[in-house]
């Protein structure tokens, strides 16, 4: 039979009593605390944006945005740096996108679960956790030391390619897996080959999410610093600020922001810093918002649906 | 097929990375014959005297990471819980884009914010003379790992079956009791992954902390004292080295050490995921 | 139409009763003017074709619709002599007195012991010996004690489907509720497990009032004292189980029972 210990008194009534009130109070307190924590993040972010905007606004003169940097005197601009940021961005995407998309298509659509596939996944995951500064040193070893290139935009772009490959690979895989299998089956049932199915049905369906992911990663590439310090360098070509040669030394805007605040000796560090930070922030916002808009527009265009 | 090669490229890249860094990173021990033990544990970092002990930086990395995960970890998990269980739709619509924006902000901008906002604050309100130091770096890093911890914790809780919550509430539990006693323990492996990846992010973060940590080669005197970490030391001293010198080799050894730590964390993540019964 | 419930089998006391209850999902009226008396320490079965609202009705009895945004319950539900939807009624208290077992077993990923004592724990019981006693009593009442008494510290997820469902019953019973609501508790189980659960239900009425939703008429006929037939959100007919199945008064009831639809 049951033990002789008395069980708790049975509950009567429907209203909240002492013990229940305590628990409900705990519940209310916890809810308030969590709301406060979540709100504080929004407040903090807003504060950052306002702060950067407020400080940097006055620095955004045409001579700043398009002018060249100065080594030791005031009045330097960030024109070549902005140019280099875009240059390296485009170059990086040119390399990374085909490789990542091809690899993603292979992994999602062709590969059988097994050895090769797991090794690729593991490599991608590991590559994703490599700190960017380590990647920069890797680039230094390969391009500057082994290839004897010195600091080049191309070296920077190639380094960033390896750095962003895992991210873009994951974006591709997720975009592809979001396409329902029923579409693939329909295409095959109509006699399409696997390749036709992928290029004509799967990829167009996935293109919205894929592009959103690419643009978001582009935003991160734009702000990348540590991997570029040792590969693309800390200066710009002396007489040719808008150099098209991929082997030119290419300090980007992000690197410039760091450089002026750690090594450089120009007297108007604050102005340059404020302005650079604001330009970087504007670019990040642009990439973020643009990613969504482009993604949505492309999805609509290629599939007729809105998401 | 070309596609297969593209996938293979990933493997090649990773392998090349490992090999190059292992090769260059061990030169300190083979070529310069500096003992591994001293490298890891000696607090004296004087490459001019042929003694690049990296203990200061290892401790710095650990300290700054512990600070970041101690502050940003619980905060991030809490906000993740909030998003998964408590936030109404409108709030989610504001908070999630805000978090995505936080991810997009370059680390150099976080560093700059720390430099212009946080460091003067610490300078005026504490005993620290310059404001640069461990605390500044820790705070900046806590903020930077928040998005990672938040989104992964939220995913972990959202992916739990609804029947779990339903069962708890049907037994007369309050929402908070359900969260703390059922949902969080059930999502523990996912939350562990969130924290481990937060740590991974913290360990590798370079620029933001380099701008506020003070970059001295000493142990910090108290929480507000200047010091350095493995990535920050690399960035600070590498531009000035000569190729083939002991300093350069030592810096590569530090990079290799960082790589090993990153890989260890990956293994931990996989282990955690497998534990999900 | 007529909302007067028919005379039921005996004149036992009514434990839980709904009076003219409506349940809205948004603007959709899922349950219409439902009035039903469920007798203490008896089994009342709710039957009807799928989608007729029997689960919706059941969930209104322990205020589970509070969890669904957009769901609205009108009318009153009386537990003994108090309205559980009254102004000062608290769902947390109500769910202590009215327990629920779901269609699919949903044990927590914890030990068997922790599952069973979860209810008492969250309501404030801390004494280890009291919890041990409760666990044993509840597991015995759920006919599970002999099978698990030596492995209480093992994970509940290691149990078979039928055992997990009995564990969920033990978990509900551990709180000493007055009413146990069961939403097709055996539909996910094999026939042997199902018959164990049915035997169990018979024993539970020694102490508890049971309201069970079932899509199996045979099950209703086997285990219940009274049966209510639902169709399109209304209670078409209610009465002693015997009478409903042999001499149904409404045509719709007869059509359903003889298999003409559903």
pLDDT tens digit sequence for A184-195: 888 888 888 888
Total CB pairs under 8 A between chain A and C: 59
Same domain, yes or no: A167 and A28: no
- Grouping H, G, I as helix, E, B as strand and the rest as coil, residue C111 is strand
- Domain interval for residue B19: 2-274
The pTM (predicted TM-score) of the whole model is 0.88
| Alpha helix ranges (H) inside chain A | 18-57, 62-66, 79-105, 115-129, 132-139, 153-177, 181-189, 194-196, 203-222, 226-229, 253-262, 269-303
Top residue of B168, B170, B175, B176 to mutate, by most chain C CBs within 10 Å, is B170
The mean pLDDT value for B63-86 works out to 95
Interface of C with B in 56-75 (CB under 8 A): 62, 64, 67
Exposed, middle or buried by CB within 10 Å (0-12, 13-18, 19+), for C241?
buried
Report the number of distinct structural domains present in chain B: 1
Is A28 an 8 Å CB contact of chain C?
no
H helix runs in C40-160, sequence order:
54-60, 91-97, 112-122, 128-141, 145-148
Q: Are A70 and A40 found together in one domain?
A: no
Q: How confident is the model over C178-212, as pLDDT tens digits?
A: 999 999 999 889 999 999 999 999 999 989 999 99
Paired tokens of C70: 């957009």
Write down the domain spans for chain C.
14-105+178-257
Q: What is the mean pLDDT of residues A145-153?
A: 86
Does one domain contain both A90 and A210? yes
Q: Is A114 on the interface with C (CB under 8 A)?
A: no
Q: From the list C88, C122, C130, which residue is nearest A15 (CB)?
A: C88
A161 within some domain: yes
One domain, residues A166 and A258: yes
For position B276, what pLDDT does the model report? 58
- State whether A69 and A183 are in the same domain: yes
A48 plus A85 within the same structural domain = no
What whole-number percentage of chain B has pLDDT above 90?
Answer: 54
What's the mean pLDDT when you consider all of chain C? 90
Give the residue numbers spanning the domain of A235. Answer: 64-303
A11 occurs within a structural domain: no
Residues of chain A in contact with residue B1, where contact means CB-CB under 8 angstroms, are: 106, 110
Structural domains of chain A, count = 2
Residue of A25, A34, A212 best to disrupt the B interface, most CBs of B under 10 A: A34
Both A45 and A137 in a single domain?
no
**Closest Cα partner for A126 from B100, C112, B259, C213?**
B259
The pLDDT of B212-235, averaged and rounded, is 87
At C210-240, the pLDDT tens digits run 999 998 888 999 999 999 999 999 999 999 9
Answer yes or no: is pLDDT of A158 > 70. yes
Residues of A in contact with B24 (CB under 8 A): 141
Confidence of residue A6 (pLDDT cuts 50, 70, 90): low
Closest CA to B51 of B60, B61, B42, B62: B42
In-domain check, residue A1: no
Structurally, what CATH architecture does the domain formed by C14-105+178-257 represent? 3-Layer(aba) Sandwich (3.40)
For residues A162 and A235, membership in a common domain is answered with: yes
Q: Which residues of A touch B95 (CB under 8 A)?
A: 38, 41-42
Task: Give A100's contacts in chain B (Cβ within 8 Å).
Answer: 6
Do the Cβ atoms of C118 and B169 come within 8 Å? no
CB contacts of C122 in chain A (<8 Å) are: 23
- Residue in A23, A99, A134 nearest the CB of B259: A134
Q: Are residues A151 and A97 in the same domain?
A: yes
Taking CB atoms and an 8 Å cutoff, what residues of chain A touch B79? Answer: 34, 37-38, 41
Reported as a single tens digit per residue, the pLDDT across B201-212 is 899 888 899 999
Band of residue C133 on the pLDDT scale cut at 50, 70, 90: very high
Q: How many inter-chain contacts (B to C, CB under 8 Å) are there?
A: 64
pLDDT computed for residue B54 by the predictor: 87
For residue A258, give the CATH number of its domain: 1.10.3720.10
Percent of chain A scoring above 70 in pLDDT:
94
CATH code for position B64 = 1.10.3720.10
Average pLDDT, chain A: 86
The answer to whether B276 contacts chain C (CB < 8 Å) is no
Q: How far is A301 from chain B (nearest CA, A)?
A: 24
């Amino acid at each position: 039979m049951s033990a002789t210990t008395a069980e708790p008194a049975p509950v009567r009534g429907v209203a909240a009593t002492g013990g229940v009130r305590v628990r409900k109070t705990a519940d209310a307190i916890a809810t308030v605390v969590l709301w406060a924590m979540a709100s504080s993040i929004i407040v903090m972010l807003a504060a950052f944006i306002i702060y950067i905007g407020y400080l940097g606004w006055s620095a955004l003169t045409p001579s700043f945005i398009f002018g060249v940097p100065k080594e030791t005197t005031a009045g330097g601009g960030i024109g070549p740096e902005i140019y280099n940021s875009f240059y390296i961005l485009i170059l990086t995407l040119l390399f990374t996108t085909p490789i990542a998309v091809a690899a993603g298509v292979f992994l999602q659509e062709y590969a059988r679960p097994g050895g090769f596939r797991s090794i690729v996944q593991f490599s991608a995951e590991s590559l994703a956790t490599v700190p960017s500064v380590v990647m920069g040193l890797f680039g230094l070893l390969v391009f500057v030391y082994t290839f004897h290139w010195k600091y080049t935009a191309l070296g920077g772009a190639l380094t960033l390619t390896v750095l962003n490959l895992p991210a873009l690979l994951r974006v591709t895989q997720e975009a592809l897996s979001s396409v329902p299998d029923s579409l693939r089956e329909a295409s095959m049932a109509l006699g399409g080959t696997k390749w036709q199915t992928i290029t004509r049905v799967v990829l167009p369906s996935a293109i919205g999410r894929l592009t959103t992911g690419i643009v978001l990663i582009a935003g991160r590439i734009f702000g990348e610093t540590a991997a570029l310090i040792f590969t693309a360098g800390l200066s710009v070509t002396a007489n040719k600020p808008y150099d098209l040669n991929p082997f030119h030394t290419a300090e980007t805007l992000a690197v410039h922001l760091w450089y002026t605040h750690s090594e450089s000796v120009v007297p108007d560090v604050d102005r340059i810093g404020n302005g650079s930070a604001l330009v970087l922030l504007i670019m990040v916002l642009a990439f973020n918002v643009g990613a969504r808009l482009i993604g949505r527009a492309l999805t609509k265009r290629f599939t007729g649906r809105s998401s | 097929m070309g596609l297969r090669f593209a996938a293979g490229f990933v493997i090649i890249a990773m392998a090349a990375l490992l090999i190059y860094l292992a090769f260059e990173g061990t030169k300190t021990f083979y070529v310069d014959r500096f003992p591994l033990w001293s490298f890891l544990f000696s607090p004296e970092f004087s490459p001019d005297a042929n003694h690049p002990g990296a203990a200061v930086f290892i401790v710095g990395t650990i300290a700054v990471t512990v600070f970041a995960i101690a502050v940003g970890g619980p905060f991030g998990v809490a906000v993740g819980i909030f998003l998964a269980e408590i936030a109404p739709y409108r709030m989610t619509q504001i908070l999630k884009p805000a978090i995505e924006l936080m991810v997009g902000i370059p680390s150099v901008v976080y560093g700059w914010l720390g430099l212009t906002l946080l460091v003067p604050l610490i300078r005026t309100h504490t005993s620290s003379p310059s404001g640069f130091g461990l605390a500044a770096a820790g705070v900046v890093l806590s903020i930077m790992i928040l998005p990672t911890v938040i989104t992964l914790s939220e995913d972990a809780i959202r992916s739990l079956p609804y029947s779990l919550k339903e069962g708890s509430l049907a037994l007369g539990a309050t929402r908070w009791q359900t969260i703390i006693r059922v949902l969080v323990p059930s999502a523990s492996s996912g939350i562990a992954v969130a924290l481990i990846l937060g740590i991974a992010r913290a360990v590798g973060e370079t620029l933001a902390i380099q701008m506020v940590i003070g970059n001295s080669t000493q142990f910090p005197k108290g929480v507000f004292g200047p010091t350095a970490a493995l990535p920050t030391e690399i960035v600070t001293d590498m531009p000035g080295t000569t190729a083939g010198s002991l300093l350069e080799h030592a810096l590569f050894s530090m990079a290799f050490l960082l790589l090993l730590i990153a890989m260890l964390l990956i293994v931990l993540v996989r282990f955690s995921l497998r534990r999900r019964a | 139409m007529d909302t007067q419930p028919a005379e039921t089998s005996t004149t036992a006391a009514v434990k839980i009763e709904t009076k003219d209850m409506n349940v809205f999902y948004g603007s959709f009226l899922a349950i219409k003017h439902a009035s039903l008396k469920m007798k203490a320490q008896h089994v009342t079965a709710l039957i009807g074709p799928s989608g007729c609202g029997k689960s919706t009705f059941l969930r209104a009895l322990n205020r589970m619709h509070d969890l669904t945004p957009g769901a609205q319950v009108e009318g009153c539900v009386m537990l003994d002599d108090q309205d559980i939807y009254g102004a000062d009624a608290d769902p947390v208290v109500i769910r202590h007195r009215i327990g629920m077992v779901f269609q699919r077993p949903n044990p927590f990923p914890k030990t068997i012991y922790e599952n069973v004592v979860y209810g008492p724990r969250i309501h404030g019981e801390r004494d280890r010996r009291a919890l041990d006693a409760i666990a044993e009593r509840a597991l015995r009442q759920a006919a599970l004690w002999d099978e698990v008494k030596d492995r209480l510290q093992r994970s509940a997820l290691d149990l078979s489907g039928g055992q997990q469902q009995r564990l969920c019953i033990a978990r509900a019973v551990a709180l000493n509720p007055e009413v146990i609501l069961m939403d097709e508790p055996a539909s996910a189980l094999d026939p042997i497990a199902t018959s164990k659960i049915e035997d169990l239900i018979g024993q539970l009425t020694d102490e508890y009032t049971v309201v069970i939703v079932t899509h199996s008429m045979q099950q209703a006929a086997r285990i219940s004292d009274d049966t209510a037939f639902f169709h399109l959100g209304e209670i078409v007919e209610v009465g002693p189980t015997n009478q409903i199945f042999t001499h149904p008064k409404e045509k719709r009831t007869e059509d359903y029972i003889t298999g003409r639809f559903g």
